[in-house]
Amino acid sequence: MITYLEGVVRAIGPDSLTIVTAGVGREAFVVPALAARARLGAELSIHTFLVVREDSLTLFGFDSADERSVFATLQTISGVGPKLALAVLSVLGPDDLRRAVADADEAALTRVPGIGKKVAARLMLELGSRLDRLPAPGSGTASAPGAAPAVDEVVGALVGLGWKEAAAREAVEATRSAEPSAGVPQLLKATLRALGGQR
């Protein structure tokens, strides 16, 4: 699992960057503000989240571990995929999102393209407690082994592969309990083995 990239920027799109590390260029989709700050030929470090699909692997990049963790948590909400999660962060950012959810600010949430009143209500209902479980920004624990974002990342990958969020989370938590030292790749593989073909 690719969780961090450091290298030279070789291409910049409106919402993507290509970063070359050890001679290999990797494209990551990012919020427009991050793409706008990047400079061709300059060194850049980003936190990343790999979205696994049956026919693709898509990398998303972020300024901070907190932003990456919020992106992972957003995808645990029914109806929110990686593109919509990135759109939320593009419009609001982690801190404004936390405020909008805490204040039940539907108007702020529906400013995000693709979020209507129903999805906004779901975010306000389900997201608050999940955001509260994330490490505080700057705590340095967002990508530590065993941290909640690792579980959320694996759950997000399983949801992308077709499993229901509740079933995926239950399986991941059970696997984490059995293998507490497992990293994200090992946790994903072990959970897939446990789930088998049942969706």
31 — pLDDT class (breaks 50, 70, 90): very high
Q: Return the structure tokens found at 39.
A: 């400079």
Q: Final residue of a domain: which of 77, 108, 132?
A: 132
Distance CA 78, CA 20 (A): 34
What CATH number is attached to the domain comprising 77?
1.10.150.20
Q: 124 and 157 share a domain?
A: no
Paired with 16 in beta bridges are 13, 29
Q: 12 and 58 share a domain?
A: yes
Could you tell me if residue 29 is inside a domain?
yes
H helix or E strand, kind and range, residue 154: helix 148-160
Q: At residue 11, does pLDDT exceed 90?
A: yes
What CATH number is attached to the domain comprising 53?
2.40.50.140
Could you tell me if residue 139 is inside a domain?
no
- pTM to 2 decimals? 0.67
Sign of the C-alpha dihedral computed for residues 186, 56, 37 and 132 taken in this order: negative
Q: 12 and 54 share a domain?
A: yes
Q: Is 113 exposed, middle or buried, given 0-12, 13-18 or 19+ CB atoms closer than 10 A?
A: exposed
What percent of the chain is predicted at pLDDT more than 70? 86
**Mean pLDDT of all residues in the chain?**
84
Q: 128 and 69 share a domain?
A: yes
Could you tell me if residue 141 is inside a domain?
no
Could you tell me if residue 34 is inside a domain?
yes
Is residue 34 within 8 A of residue 61, CB to CB? The reply is yes
Could you tell me if residue 54 is inside a domain?
yes
Distance CA 70, CA 39 (A): 26
Q: At residue 27, does pLDDT exceed 90?
A: yes
Q: Final residue of a domain: which of 132, 165, 181?
A: 132
Is residue 43 within 8 A of residue 7, CB to CB? The reply is yes
Could you tell me if residue 32 is inside a domain?
yes
What pLDDT is stored for residue 187 in this prediction?
77
- Domain extent, residue 187, equals 148-195
Q: Residues 76-98: what's their mean pLDDT?
A: 92
What CATH number is attached to the domain comprising 186?
1.10.8
Could you tell me if residue 16 is inside a domain?
yes
The total domain count for the chain is 3
Q: At residue 90, does pLDDT exceed 70?
A: yes
19-28, 43-52, 104-113, 173-182: least confidently modelled range: 173-182
Could you tell me if residue 43 is inside a domain?
yes
Q: Final residue of a domain: which of 21, 46, 62?
A: 62
